[in-house]
A and B are shown apart, each in its own frame.
Chain A
């Protein structure tokens, strides 16, 4: 059994770095979800789509791989941050929302690492910066497999 300190009856303050990470990721993911939902509504209700929805569904259900689906439905195999050039389409907006959700932890870890620096937790500051670098390299495509 771990030590249960009955003498200390005041709640310990949660680490600031953790609170920063939690708040940032929560709100950024929520914003990303709303944007992606708006994009999907646009896909379903308007004609301004980049990927032909019926073609996408047919190819998805036919078990085609992503490269083939892109080729058949748009004529190009899109990679990387393709949605940034297609923000006038439902697919582009929906993918922007997804990407924003996927960036939530990247932002959270960077800002949380500054909070660790401020509270002089140097070792954990180093760990958090290494983590932030891995996440940033992954999200910018610096770590990637060639085609």
Chain B
């Protein structure tokens, strides 16, 4: 999809979204709002909905400008800076990462940019271990209580700081990696494909390699994603691009589609345990998708470098806060 198409789609979507929000506001009669019982911190449910809609929109905008998925910021930020239960936030984090990825997948598949063979090859370990991760999260909550929550927060805090460091030190991705040798296993699986590269005006036929290593790494990424309720683009793109040597565009597109599949597998154990509350999940989902679209629109006009450092700062702060919370819960602070 070229920039013009994307811009037209974004304009259309923003217009439709704005219309939806206006309709939504008009549908809420003022007397009903006034009559509502006050909830959290004196906020009524409508104000709560709008507050989280705005917060999630901002997270979506910042995430896009920094080139990451919203899920990776949503979960640590909400866990670090709101008192809401960790399991509720992780389930909601998975839900928002999943819906964002599913909506974004369509153009990548329509253009043949996402490699369907690579997708299903990676989806088996990724989805399987994402479910295991989600089950583990519920199991820890049920059997270990506060201590389990403290260890999850500690591990997530360390992970978020590591991801922030990954953004600083491992930024060198390769647009068209050179595949010198394709191992026997990858050859037998047959993951090579071709796509039309608009900027070159030609077909790019590419190979991938080290499929066996990719499979192991996808399992690990799935486990982390399901356990902590994070999107997995931060790990998936490097695995596809730097380990399996897929072209950068193919890696980014395939990663987006894969997150939709893996997070779908992981979200259900959270739903089955009743951890998703619509009044919290729906504004976060709509806000993050809206933010992603608005962010893509304003991306052309701002300095991405500054936003990248802003997001790295947010991640360090969230990570440090999560570690501090866990140490307090364990009685060390």
Please list the residues of chain A having a beta carbon within 8 angstroms of any beta carbon in chain B: 1-6, 8-15, 17-19, 21-23, 25-26, 29-30, 32-33, 36-37, 39-41, 43-46, 51-58, 60-67, 69-70, 77-80, 82, 91, 94-95, 97-99, 101-102, 104-106, 109, 112, 116, 121, 123-124, 127-128, 130-131, 134-135, 138-139, 141, 143-145, 147
* A18: chain B residues within 8 A (beta carbon): 109-110, 112, 114, 116, 119
Fill in one digit per residue for B87-101: 1 if any A CB lies within 8 Å of its CB, else 0: 110000001001100
A130 to B119, CA, bound (A): 13
* A99: chain B residues within 8 A (beta carbon): 271
* A26: chain B residues within 8 A (beta carbon): 102-103, 105-106
A145 to B41, CA, bound (A): 34
* B108: chain A residues within 8 A (beta carbon): 22
A144 to B99, CA, bound (A): 22
- Are B260 and A53 in contact, CB atoms less than 8 angstroms apart? no
A33 to nearest B CB, angstroms? 7
A21 to B231, CA, bound (A): 20
A83 to nearest B CB, angstroms? 9
Residue from the list A13, A21, A56, A94 in contact with B112, Cβ < 8 A: A13
Name A's interface SS: helix
* B200: chain A residues within 8 A (beta carbon): 4
- Are B196 and A11 in contact, CB atoms less than 8 angstroms apart? yes
B248-300 contacts to A (CB < 8 Å)? 257, 260-261, 264-269, 271-283, 285-286, 289
Name B's interface SS: helix
* B203: chain A residues within 8 A (beta carbon): 4-5, 8-12
* A109: chain B residues within 8 A (beta carbon): 123, 261
- Are A57 and B39 in contact, CB atoms less than 8 angstroms apart? yes
- Are A2 and B177 in contact, CB atoms less than 8 angstroms apart? yes
- B194, CB-defined interface residue at 8 Å: yes
Residue from the list A44, A45, A60, A70 in contact with B40, Cβ < 8 A: A60
- Are B102 and A25 in contact, CB atoms less than 8 angstroms apart? yes
A8 to B128, CA, bound (A): 39
Told that A14-B110, A79-B274 touch, could you supply 20 new A-B pairs with CB distance under 8 A? A2-B178, A2-B207, A12-B194, A18-B114, A22-B106, A30-B103, A40-B283, A44-B45, A45-B27, A57-B48, A61-B41, A63-B84, A65-B88, A69-B85, A91-B279, A102-B98, A109-B261, A124-B121, A135-B264, A143-B268
A97 to nearest B CB, angstroms? 8
* B123: chain A residues within 8 A (beta carbon): 109, 127-128, 131
A79 to nearest B CB, angstroms? 5
